[in-house]
Amino acid sequence: MHHPESIRSVQQLVGEHAIDLPADPGIYAFWWIGERDQLLAANRRIVLKGPNEQPVEVEYRDWWPEELAYPCLYVGKSTNIRKRFSLHLKRGSPGRLHAAHPEHHKAKPNTTSCQLRWGIEHIFPNEANPLALISTSVGFSYRTDLVDNAIAERFFEEDRLVGTWRPWFNIDSER
């Protein structure tokens, strides 16, 4: 799932009328396929709500394993890869969905399922057209071959990949 040849740009997946992905259950990842320097020059600080609603600061670091061709932004699981991909992007909503906070506090997500869109808007607070940036600089890969005891296998595979690939947008605070 993380081999460069299996990663397709968002632009390649989104056609005029359809998204070129299966409606099958599986596990997926979003990748930064744009210039790495652009990603590392982005806003890499976020303030989350920690225990007792106290703010806790997290820094997104260049901590991806060297064997990855691209930095991983988010790993997830779904019962429908195509639908979940679409929910992450919210293509029907142009412009920005999340206001940038001057002190990098986490904006309330527009929905509970748009982690990729939210993350891109957080790290690029001055980007007026986040969908265009996502289209050209974000890639996607998935696998749907976890069939034996699939729910459990997707659960464990997501956790394993989050721990291995260290995606920025999967980080949450402890409460």
Question: 18-57: per-residue pLDDT in tens?
Answer: 899 999 999 999 999 999 999 999 999 999 988 888 999 9
Distance CA 56, CA 48 (A): 5
Measured N-to-C along each axis, helices 115-123 and 81-89 cross at an angle, to the nearest 10 degrees, of 30
Residue 122 · residue 98 · CB < 8 Å: yes
- Which pLDDT value is given to residue 18? 84
Q: Is 134 inside a domain boundary?
A: yes
Angle (CA) 87-117-39 rounded to 5° is 145
Q: Is 175 inside a domain boundary?
A: no
Global pTM value: 0.94
- Which pLDDT value is given to residue 65? 94
Q: Is 136 inside a domain boundary?
A: yes
Q: Answer left, alpha or beta for residue 149, where phi above 0 means left and psi between -120 and 50 means alpha.
A: left
Written as six digits, the tokens of 7 are 């990663």
What is the extent of the structural domain holding 72? 4-170
Give the number of domains in the chain.
1
- Which pLDDT value is given to residue 175? 61
Give φ, ψ of 143 to 5 degrees.
-140, 145
Note down pLDDT in tens along the chain; length 175 residues. 767 679 999 999 997 778 999 999 999 999 999 999 999 999 999 999 888 889 999 999 999 999 999 999 999 999 999 999 999 999 989 899 999 888 898 988 888 899 999 999 999 999 999 999 999 999 999 999 998 999 999 999 999 999 999 999 999 876 6
